[in-house]
Copies of this chain bind each other. A is one copy, B any other.
Amino acid sequence: MYIPTYEDMLAAHERIKPHIRRTEVRTSAYLNELSGAQLFFKCENFQEPGAFKVRGASNAVFGLDDAQAAKGVATHSSGNHASCLSYAAMRRGIPCNVVMPRTAPQAKKDTVRRYGGVITECDPSTSSREATFAEVQAATGGDFVHPYNDPRVIAGQGTCSKEFMEQTDGLDMVVAPIGGGGMISGTCLTLATLAPECQVIAAEPEQADDAYRSFKAGHIIADDAPKTIADGLLVPLKDLTWHFVSGHVTEIYTASEAEIIDAMKIIWKHLRVVMEPSSAVPMACVLKNPEAFRGKRVGIVITGGNVDLDRLPWLAAS
């Protein structure tokens, strides 16, 4: 297992700068008042394909040598990693193969295809996904870019908190959602060197709290069929992300579905940005634990903005 280093993150930033946005950091006097903290929101939903995952994906794609690049990349994902990897591959002009369950939302498939990704459908089971992916990879020779458990991906995600610290003149803590742990691991990687005094806080849905329970137990515990509105956070930690989570994260907080939906609506209304339910988990945790954040300079990563505008969670009951 290769552990990416701070230098890998710096190299990633130079490599991907022409292909990503240095996203805006937004603030709101109202949200500061509401939380009692000084909040800074890093708007990764403003990346062209709508998520921070374009950083790690671009680092993997643009780091390939020409021989491998000719064969392209491959992954399995039905979320932002699939569209971001397709987007990065399109920018380099190389193939991207994606294995996706046939039950994935049409909008997700459309986005991958808009960026030139080639989808191979599988059944919605781990065994079918693994078998189908093995076939695709054997046929294409595409380099496997895991959504998070890949040192190139983690080094890429780490570039976000480097920009964040530059744009804010420093923070007391950074709060980001945790699913597989790619963003949190990149944040740990960068801040451990750049700002070791800055705390890294992970935020997780109660209904998919495997990282929370793993953190408390001291070893990886997988969820049994997690179900949450924060659908970007369903996947489990893996060895590489566990290395960073167990070694550098200060605390993991959890929030209920109702708290996540409330926080999502508050940010839409007052920060006026469109973001996914997964991105609302940090704000939900900040509002739920005011004593932990009061008076602090708190950076919150808004991880993505790809949401079905026809199915907003606060309107689900109507």
Contacts and interface: CB of A to CB of B under 8 A. Distances in A.
A272 B273 contact: yes
A24 interface: yes
A305 B272 contact: yes
Interface residues of A, number: 23
Given A28-B48, A309-B265, A272 B274 contact: yes
A284 to B, nearest CB: 17
A38 to B, nearest CB: 15
Interface string A270-288: 0011110000000000000
Contact of A268 (B26, B48, B265, B274): B274
B275 A45 contact: no
Contacts of A46: 26, 272
A272 to B, nearest CB: 4
Given A26-B46, A48-B30, A272-B46, A314 B309 contact: yes
Contact of A309 (B45, B268, B273, B305): B268
A30 B45 CA distance: 14
A29 B48 contact: yes
Interface in A75-102: none
